[in-house]
Chains A and B, each alone.
Chain A
Amino acid sequence: DTGVSQDPRHKITKRGQNVTFRCDPISEHNRLYWYRQTLGQGPEFLTYFQNEAQLEKSRLLSDRFSAERPKGSFSTLEIQRTEQGDSAMYLCASSSTRDFSYEQYFGPGTRLTVT
């Protein structure tokens, strides 16, 4: 079991540019979550997928944000026209509903800096 992986680990971009992050969950996990964590705060829920279906989106997720999980495997999170306020750590987590554990396993995160 290789755990949850995220790519890239760090991203520096200029305001107005688009960025895309990738998350590879634990292979047998059917749920995948995206969270955002700013400095000194706890992670905040953005959205989640069960298999390939996106079942809930937070109101934190503006129209500039879009997430996909084609084929129910890896997921991508795209931010269009980045703003300085988007600077944060973006965390991905996965879990399985099959064992009713509800334990989410987190990846190392992608740290985004918008200049």
Chain B
Amino acid sequence: AQKVTQAQTEISVVEKEDVTLDCVYETRDTTYYLFWYKQPPSGELVFLIRRNSFDEQNEISGRYSWNFQKSTSSFNFTITASQVVDSAVYFCALSGSGNTGKLIFGQGTTLQVKP
């Protein structure tokens, strides 16, 4: 069975702090994809990043960075110098090799960035 666990339910930080959101996944597939989505208060899910299982290179996009480690089945997301606009619910998701593309989501982490 496939599963995504986001153990942190809520995180609160003060603006400009760095924050890491954890994601641990389970799958028996050798080929799979990992995603992060942001859900701001407006409710619409916004795609942030996709990683395939063969690419363990870390990625940086502006203040966002992602650390993918197959050895620990983790795909963590770090926001550097957080801003109030980063306040949202963040979801990690997994898509297996069955070619359906369906996403298995974690329960989400609510990030509150205080000014």
Q: In the assembled complex, how far is the CB of residue A4 from the closest CB belonging to chain B, in whole angstroms?
A: 9
- Number of contact residues on A: which range applies? 20 to 34
Q: Does residue B33 face the partner (Cβ distance < 8 Å to A)?
A: yes
| Distance of A6 Cα from B96 Cα, bound (Å) | 27
Binds A, one of B13-21, B56-64, B76-84, B104-112: B104-112
B43 in contact with A89 (CB, 8 Å): yes
Does A112 interact with chain B (Cβ within 8 Å)? no
| Cβ–Cβ contact A102 & B107, under 8 A | no
Is B44 in the interface zone, CB < 8 Å from A?
A: yes
Q: How far is the CB of A103 from chain B (nearest CB, A)?
A: 6
Q: Does B91 lie at the interface of the complex (its beta carbon under 8 Å from any beta carbon of A)? A: yes
Q: Which residues of B contact A (CB under 8 A)?
A: 4, 33, 35, 37, 42-47, 50, 91, 93, 95, 100-108
- The 9 lowest CB-CB distance pairs between A and B, nearest first, are A42-B105, A106-B45, A45-B102, A108-B44, A43-B105, A42-B108, A42-B107, A42-B91, A102-B101
